[in-house]
Amino acid sequence: WSHPTRGLIWGTAVIDDAGNAFVGSADKRFYALAPDGRLRWDYTLPNVGDSLIDSAAALTPEGLVVVPGGDGRLHALDMDT
């Protein structure tokens, strides 16, 4: 399967135990994709400066996806929502 974004993807996707993929894009959005490629949710970084996402996220044992944003902030997102 594949899923389109509106920008380049520079960071590596990370995969959780259930097979969900999490990846950011130069379109300033972070995507959560189901194992079949279906979009589960997405998150748009604030439109501040160069807020694109060009690094891989980290998954925490508490169920967070920590996304490094080009806006100079770490964004902690709930893995399920």
47-76 residue pLDDT tens: 877 778 888 999 999 999 999 988 888 999
**How much is the pLDDT for 54?**
84
8-26 residue pLDDT tens: 898 899 999 999 999 999 9
25-51 residue pLDDT tens: 999 999 999 999 999 999 998 887 777
**How much is the pLDDT for 32?**
97
Rg of the chain's alpha carbons, rounded to an integer? 12
With CA atoms as reference, report the closest residue to 41 among 59, 23, 53. Answer: 23
